[in-house]
Amino acid sequence: MNYIIVDLEATCWNEKHHTRKSEIIEIGAICVNEKKEILGEFQIFVKPNLHVELSDFCKQLTSITQEMVDNAPTFPVALEQFQTWIYSFGKDYVLGSWGFYDKGQFEKDCLLHQLDTNWLKNHINIKFQHAIIRNLPKGIGMKQAIEHEKLVLDGTHHRGIDDARNIAKIFIKLFEKWDYSLDSSTKND
């Protein structure tokens, strides 16, 4: 069994009640095996389809530039590359992300491009389980969790690959405590 720790960045805006649909602009992932070894990393930028111009807020938050996404593949191509990378380690995997946002955003982008979502079915919400393991009243942000676990935040927060690396640190530290049978799909972030 391999564990694919994934973090996404997506188009975003500063206005709270906008009606625009977010799209993935970066996929970052780390593959961890049953021995707690990191087998590899994956990072790709993605060219958005609906709102091709990144907002100033999005560029500031993520440090992703317009040029990075302009020169990137579209979501179907990026997803195919991501899935090829996942399957290069074997077909038996569990996706893990900090909350349900990432799984939900993958589902939305797959539906937008009429792509299959079955590859998302084996997923755990690391944020939700971290709150249970650490007896916290609710899930905390990944940056707070890194501090709570007395780990060092590496890289740039809100960059997919860097956040995936940091989530993987938490995942590896608490490796024996994760519940893969827990259907947390009905729980909140």
Which has more pLDDT, 18 or 165?
165
Model confidence over 48-77: pLDDT tens digits?
999 999 999 999 999 999 999 999 999 999
Side-chain-side CA neighbours of 85 within 13 Å: the count stands at: 22
Q: What is the mean pLDDT of residues 36-48?
A: 98
pLDDT given at position 162: 98
- Is the CB of residue 78 less than 8 Å from the CB of residue 109? no
Q: What are 173's two structure tokens?
A: 């530290």
DSSP H helical ranges for the chain: 56-62, 66-70, 75-87, 101-112, 126-133, 142-148, 160-173
At 187, the pLDDT band (50, 70, 90 cuts) reads very low
Q: What is the mean pLDDT of residues 87-116?
A: 97
CATH number of the CATH domain containing 161: 3.30.420.10
In the chain, how many domains are there?
Answer: 1
pLDDT given at position 16: 81
pTM of the model: 0.94
At 183, the pLDDT band (50, 70, 90 cuts) reads low
- Is the CB of residue 22 less than 8 Å from the CB of residue 104? no
Q: Which residues are bridge partners to 29 per DSSP?
A: 6, 42
State the catalytic residues.
9, 158
pLDDT at 83 over 70: yes
Mean pLDDT over all residues of the chain? 94
At 181, the pLDDT band (50, 70, 90 cuts) reads confident
The helix/strand/coil state of 175 is: helix
pLDDT at 125 over 90: yes
Range(s) of the domain holding residue 107: 2-186
pLDDT given at position 182: 55
Distance, CA of 127 to CA of 166 (rounded, Å): 13
